[in-house]
Amino acid sequence: MTEQEFLDTYYVERKHSDSLKWNELASDDLIPMWIADMDFKSPYEISDAIDKRLEHGVFGYPIILNSYYESLIRWEKNQNNYELKKEYIRISPSVVTSICWLINCFTKKHDSIIILTPVYSPFSNSINDNGRNLITVDLNYKEGIYTIDFEEFEKNIIENNVKMFILCSPHNPIGRVWHEEELENLLSICQKHNVLVISDEIHKDLIRPDLKHIPSAIINNKKYVNNIITLSSASKTFNIPIFNTSNVIIENDTLRESYDKYINTIYKAYHNQFGIIAHETVYNNGLQWRNDLLKVVHSNYNYIKETLTSLYPKIFISPMEGTYLLWMNLREYVDLENIQSFIQDKCKLAVCYGETFGSNWKGFIRMNMATHPKIIKEATQNIINNLNKLNN
């Protein structure tokens, strides 16, 4: 499809529906660009598959058929060069739920867990809520570009006796797709100090076409795989979080046995059968929809970046290598203490603010690019108009 054909087919007005993104706003006049939720219908193949299951009319206790595992294994091999086996895969309700389970399974109260900030806020929330010691290391930053301070990362691991590292790959909110060398350095440090790596790869299928996601588990011919648990889901790529389904991938037998024993003590529910159906459907038939989506997302990103920076060159917008989330630094033009009032009250935008991703990132905002270009253009013009007023 062309971008316009995709918009005509899948864009949907979500106001006054049951949408968290559109209905839970501080005021009705805000443009919602905050939570990572698209304004596009999911592939129609999902509805067709669920309709077929509904026609059966019996909703008893389900099993997961081999066809689900086969579809996931095929997708990972074709898209990410990651060769899986069925026995590695476990199902959970969500990636964040999995993170909480893994924290409780593999660490004790007051153990230290490290993250690289700015990063998805449920990482820190999950660590704090479960009574663990949160260790944060800020990424190096210069004019929109982020790199990892490996010396500081290792120093904090040693000084705090860190037991677990929660990695975001690709990295939300900054949009980085980590290079193989960067991942190898992180994993090598963790292996050296016996730190278990939880690799959240939920955005792995939302990559700029000229780049490639490298699963943590395959780095250096799977050298570090015995120290890694990978989390994934189709929920972010295909806008289906409602189905509460994600994958926990554990290749190491000992880790997998420990996980299974722990889960047996806390979770006795059956999986969401409609989530399994939806995921299997997109693993089998969702590639073209995903590719068409990315055309729209990156067109939106390019528009807002080129338009804003042509007028205000010290607005630093990080490269959106992965995810559909734009990360913008407004510090050169808006006082730190006035960022929220400027964006919300003057520009009429609902966004995610930098400090929610780490205490040192005030003055940054995260904006969702998975929407109609008309919304992107309105938001961009609102920012320009109010920057003009502020700086004149």
Tens of pLDDT, residues 162-210: 999 999 999 999 999 999 999 999 999 999 999 999 999 999 999 999 9
Q: What percent of the chain has pLDDT over 70?
A: 100
φ, ψ dihedrals at 28, nearest 5°: -70, -15
Closest residue by Cα to residue 323 from 168, 175, 116, 178: 175
CA neighbours within 13 Å on the CB side: how many for 365?
A: 22
CA–CA dist 33, 63 (Å, integer): 38
Distance CA 175, CA 325 (A): 7
pLDDT digits (tens, 9 = 90+) for 90-99: 999 999 999 9
Question: How many residues are given for the chain?
Answer: 392
- Strand pairing category for 89-92 and 246-250: antiparallel
pTM > 0.95: yes
Q: At what angle do helices 287-311 and 373-391 cross, to 10 degrees?
A: 20
- Indicate the pLDDT class of residue 379, thresholds 50, 70 and 90: very high
Longest CA–CA span in the chain (Å) reads 66
Q: What is the DSSP letter of 40?
A: B
Is 258 exposed, middle or buried (CB count within 10 Å of its CB: 0-12, 13-18, 19+)? middle
**Is the pLDDT assigned to residue 391 strictly greater than 90?**
no
Average the pLDDT over 53-61 and give the result. 96
Give the strand pairing for 246-250 and 364-368: unpaired
DSSP 3-state assignment of 81?
A: coil
Which is nearest to 235 in space by CA: 183, 272, 197? 272
pLDDT, tens digit, for every residue of 239-259?
999 999 999 999 999 999 999
In angstroms, rounded to a whole number, what is the distance separating the alpha carbons of residues 38 and 201? Answer: 18
Portion of the chain with pLDDT greater than 90, in percent: 97
32 cis-preceded (ω within 30 degrees of 0) = no
Contact 186, 167 (CB under 8 A): yes
Q: What is the DSSP letter of 89?
A: E
Q: Say how far apart CA 62 and CA 358 lie, in whole Å.
A: 41
pLDDT band at 38 (very low <50, low <70, confident <90, very high): very high
pLDDT at position 9 is 98
Residue 392 is predicted with a pLDDT of 75
What's residue 338's pLDDT?
95
Q: Over the stretch 100-128, which tens digit does the pLDDT of each residue have?
A: 999 999 999 999 999 999 999 999 999 99
Task: State residue 15's pLDDT score.
Answer: 87
Sheet holding 162-168, edge to edge: 89-92, 246-250, 228-232, 196-200, 162-168, 112-117, 133-138
| Per-residue pLDDT tens digits for 282-327 | 999 999 999 999 999 999 999 999 999 999 999 999 999 999 999 9
Which residue shows structure tokens 């570009």? Answer: 145
